[in-house]
């Protein structure tokens, strides 16, 4: 009898240990019927695709704020659920000119759209100076990497190649084969400006990307398009120097005095620590840029549930999704049911579960921010804007859980084209119970916690896209937080042929699977809010916003 009692006791203790953290209160209240009801409204034709800077996008924001208000959530700061910031667009002004000078005489007079074109984030002004070649033009102290060593570029016009070193190397410290934030042209322009450059000229990294039609790109760069080229106003206002893209042929001409070809200098820029700038003997360059900038108001929607622990409530877990999509083209509506109506209605359901639990006296120890980002489709701009001016300090942000496209089964067809680059061919049926979790290689703690949250729910968790040529890792709103030292995961059921087409509609959503995914995110957020230790980040912090 005693032996049997001991065995039963040990079995009970094992089961308690296996079950791990307590089940999140109101987790069972997250239901596919509620998700469906909200999504058929948010992704309806009446919402016209929720494109940035449209009445329907503003209506979606008001709808989300009203839902947060009705739940009893509080604004994260001040008295409004809106986190306001400005986007900016630009048009080409009248006075744009590039000249190659020998003494005071112009030996070549170039106009935009042929041999060069000013970039949309360029400052306006006129500069003249000699040219210095500076490799990829990257400064990354976290990797002990610097292409602007010393004062070689101060008072000069700097010529740099596109992209980054080791861009096809899975072991590259610059995020493997994922395009690193350090390779962003605007970031490079700011680094050149900080090092005293008068202007920056970009050229194709021909050793990695040969060919191409520069003239076609140059002619089309400033043409009117369905989606304006938006940038964060705060970023654009930081760039004061002229910035332009030049043709490889023009770069060859400027580099002639070095005795090396563009290909040779571009290939030599593949370095673990950066290259020393090369002063180019020969003609000077005069660059005049005229860029008209127009600010555009934009906003995120953020609600807060205050934590219960007096020692932990000033720390926050962010649960988020983006509510914008691609709008309409005439009468053709890009509804964006999966991208990212699915994540947005998941966010609503999780917020309602927390609100119901709080009403019953069950609050998490840490505070929760529920964030609906805007303008993700235009370059993660809402999330980037938040990291620039956060409602709560980033060092008080414990973790971010981002839901983007959680409503379908990943499907990569044969011959799917460039939109599926880097992804293996797979059927929707093979992914009927799976979800991709991105960001786990940045934090072992976050990986263990999502696996724990999934126990009892039973999704197939796929963790294979952190270092993948598809660039999925940097294509949603967890990316700005990882780049600022905050542990973050991206919940994503994967691309499919309806992605970014008018066929991404609410009747095609796998609601039963979405219910399970939203329950996992809710459970993990509760665990993060309840546990004492904060999850640690393996990589970083990079802190691009400092």
Q: What is the pLDDT of residues 385-403, one digit of tens each?
A: 999 999 999 999 999 999 9
Fold type of domain 92-293: Glucose Oxidase; domain 1 (3.50.30)
- Dump pLDDT digits (tens) for 87-137: 999 999 999 999 999 877 778 899 899 999 999 999 999 999 999 999 999
Residue 222 makes CB contacts below 8 A (sequence gap 6+) with 91, 92, 112, 113, 117
Would you call 276 helix, strand, or coil by DSSP?
coil
Distance CA 308, CA 311 (A): 9
Would you call 383 helix, strand, or coil by DSSP?
helix
Mean pLDDT for 282-288 is 93
Domain made up of 20-85+298-530: CATH architecture: 3-Layer(aba) Sandwich (3.40)
Instruction: Annotate 414-429 with DSSP letters as a single string.
Output: TT--GGGTT---B-SG
Asked whether the predicted pLDDT for residue 234 surpasses 50, the reply is: yes
pLDDT at site 124: 98
Let me know if the fold of 20-85+298-530 is the same as that of 92-293: no
Mean pLDDT for 524-531 is 98
pLDDT at site 544: 55
Would you call 296 helix, strand, or coil by DSSP?
strand
- Strand 74-75 to 243-246 pairing: unpaired
Asked whether the predicted pLDDT for residue 14 surpasses 80, the reply is: no
Asked whether the predicted pLDDT for residue 466 surpasses 80, the reply is: yes
pLDDT at site 104: 76
pLDDT at site 540: 55
pLDDT at site 543: 52
Answer for the pair 246, 203: CB distance below 8 angstroms, yes or no.
Answer: yes
**% of the chain with per-residue pLDDT over 70:** 95
Asked whether the predicted pLDDT for residue 330 surpasses 50, the reply is: yes
pLDDT at site 106: 77
Q: For the whole model, what pTM was predicted? A: 0.94
- Dump pLDDT digits (tens) for 350-377: 999 999 999 999 999 999 999 999 999 9
- Dump pLDDT digits (tens) for 170-210: 999 999 999 999 999 999 999 999 999 999 999 999 999 99
pLDDT at site 105: 79
pLDDT at site 397: 98
pLDDT at site 17: 37
Phi then psi dihedrals of residue 41, to 5 deg: -85, -50
Asked whether the predicted pLDDT for residue 384 surpasses 80, the reply is: yes
Phi then psi dihedrals of residue 440, to 5 deg: -70, -25
Mean pLDDT for 62-89 is 97
Distance CA 105, CA 135 (A): 29
pLDDT at site 268: 97
Would you call 257 helix, strand, or coil by DSSP?
helix
Distance CA 391, CA 83 (A): 8
* Range list of β-strands (E), 455-519: 460-462, 488-492
Q: With bands split at pLDDT 50, 70 and 90, how would you rate the model's confidence at 448?
A: very high
- Dump pLDDT digits (tens) for 398-419: 999 999 999 999 999 999 999 9
pLDDT at site 163: 98
Q: Is the dihedral of CA 462, 467, 469, 472 positive or negative?
A: positive
Q: With bands split at pLDDT 50, 70 and 90, how would you rate the model's confidence at 8?
A: very low
Distance CA 136, CA 138 (A): 6
Nearest to 506 by CA among 293, 267, 341: 341
Answer for the pair 259, 282: CB distance below 8 angstroms, yes or no.
Answer: no
Question: What are the boundaries of each domain within the chain?
Answer: 20-85+298-530, 92-293
Asked whether the predicted pLDDT for residue 4 surpasses 70, the reply is: no
pLDDT at site 545: 61
- Dump pLDDT digits (tens) for 218-231: 999 999 988 999 99
Mean pLDDT for 269-290 is 94
pLDDT at site 282: 85
Asked whether the predicted pLDDT for residue 301 surpasses 90, the reply is: yes
Asked whether the predicted pLDDT for residue 316 surpasses 60, the reply is: yes
* Range list of β-strands (E), 138-266: 139-140, 145-146, 157-161, 199-203, 231-232, 243-246
Q: What is the CA radius of gyration of the chain?
A: 25
């Amino acid at each position: 009898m005693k032996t049997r009692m001991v065995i039963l006791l040990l079995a009970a203790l094992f089961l308690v240990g296996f079950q791990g953290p307590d089940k999140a209160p109101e987790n069972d209240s997250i239901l596919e019927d509620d998700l469906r009801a909200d999504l058929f409204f948010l992704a309806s034709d009446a919402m016209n695709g929720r494109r940035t800077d449209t009445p329907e996008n503003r209506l979606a924001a008001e709808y989300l704020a009203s839902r947060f208000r009705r739940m009893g959530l509080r604004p994260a700061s001040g008295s409004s659920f809106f986190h306001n910031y400005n986007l900016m667009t630009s048009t080409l002004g009248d006075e744009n000119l590039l000249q190659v000078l020998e003494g005071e005489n112009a030996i070549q007079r170039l106009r935009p759209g042929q041999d060069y074109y000013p970039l949309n984030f360029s400052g306006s002004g006129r500069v003249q100076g000699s040219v210095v070649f500076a490799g990829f033009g990257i400064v990354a102290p976290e990797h002990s990497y610097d292409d602007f060593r010393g004062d070689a570029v101060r008072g000069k016009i700097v010529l740099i190649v596109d992209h980054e070193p080791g861009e096809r190397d899975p072991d590259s410290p610059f995020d493997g084969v994922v395009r690193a934030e350090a390779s962003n042209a605007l970031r490079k322009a700011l680094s050149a400006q900080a090092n005293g450059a008068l202007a920056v000229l970009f050229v194709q990294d021909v050793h990695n990307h040969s060919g191409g039609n520069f003239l076609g790109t140059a002619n089309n760069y400033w043409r009117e398009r369905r989606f304006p080229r938006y940038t964060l106003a705060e970023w654009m206002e930081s760039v004061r120097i002229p910035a332009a893209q030049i043709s490889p042929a023009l770069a060859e001409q400027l580099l002639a005095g070095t005795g090396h070809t563009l290909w040779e200098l571009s290939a030599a820029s593949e370095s673990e620590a950066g290259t020393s700038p090369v002063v180019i003997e020969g003609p000077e360059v005069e660059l005049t840029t005229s860029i008209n900038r127009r600010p555009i108001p934009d906003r995120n929607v953020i609600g807060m549930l205050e934590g219960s622990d007096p020692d932990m409530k000033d720390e926050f877990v962010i649960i988020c999704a983006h509510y914008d999509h691609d709008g309409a083209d005439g009468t053709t509506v890009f509804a964006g049911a999966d991208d990212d109506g699915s994540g947005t209605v998941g966010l609503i359901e999780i917020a309602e579960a927390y609100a119901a639990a709080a009403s019953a006296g069950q609050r998490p120890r840490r505070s929760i921010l529920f964030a609906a980002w805007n303008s993700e489709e235009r370059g993660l701009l809402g999330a980037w804007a938040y990291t620039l001016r956060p409602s709560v300090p980033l060092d008080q942000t414990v973790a971010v859980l981002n839901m983007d496209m959680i409503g379908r089964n990943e499907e990569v067809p044969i011959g799917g084209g460039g939109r599926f680059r880097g992804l293996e061919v797979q059927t929707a049926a093979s992914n009927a119970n799976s979800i991709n979790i991105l960001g786990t290689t940045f934090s072992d703690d976050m990986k263990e916690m999502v696996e724990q949250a999934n126990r009892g729910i039973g999704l197939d968790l796929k963790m294979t896209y952190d270092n993948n040529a598809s660039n999925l890792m940097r294509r949603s709103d967890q990316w700005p937080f990882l780049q600022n030292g905050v542990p973050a995961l991206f919940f994503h059921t994967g691309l499919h042929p309806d992605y970014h087409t008018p066929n991404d509609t609410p009747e095609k959503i796998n609601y039963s699977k979405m219910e399970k995914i939203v329950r996992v995110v809710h459970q993990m957020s509760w665990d993060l809010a309840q546990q004492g230790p904060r999850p640690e980040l393996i990589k970083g912090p990079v802190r691009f916003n400092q």
